[in-house]
Amino acid sequence: MITNQEFLQNLYDAFNKREIETIISLMRPNVKWANGLEGGFVYGRDAVREYWTNQFKDIQAELETLKFETDENNRNVVTVHQIIKDLQGNLLADATVQQIFTIEDGLISLYEIGETETIQEMIQKTKTSKEQ
């Protein structure tokens, strides 16, 4: 049987390859998914598909897993190195973030992001520091 760490590493591998349908298949139909770009959440597989389709039109995100843990609520906490570039390959943001997954019956029911800025806030901070 596949472990949660293997399950999530497969998810990250699919994300980095932009295999949206593979990722969607790993979610419960009523998944609650954090909107890392703007904040808040999107609800359901169709909303997650639309969220990523729109995101990939503007930015390229690459996620490298650094550490897998389980918290006191039995959630899977993954520390990732997140690199965000524009479509021309220019660096927009570079950060380490915690991504938190609740897995029920072998599928993701909830995805949360640890205490961090949204991707838009990270990009704005990078732009501001380059201008100074």
Q: pLDDT tens string for the chain (132 positions)?
A: 679 999 999 999 999 999 999 999 999 999 999 998 888 999 999 999 999 899 889 889 999 999 999 999 999 999 999 999 999 999 988 889 999 999 999 999 999 998 765 566 665 666 666 665
User: Domain range holding 31?
Assistant: 4-131
Indicate the pairing of strand 27-34 with strand 107-113: parallel
DSSP bridge pairs for 110: 32, 102
Output the pTM of the full model.
Answer: 0.85
Please identify which residue in the block is written with the tokens 């949660």: 4
For the chain, what is the domain count? 1
Q: Which of 99, 108, 120, 125 is nearest to 39 (CA)?
A: 120
CATH number (domain holding residue 121): 3.10.450.50
CB 29 within 8 A of CB 45: yes
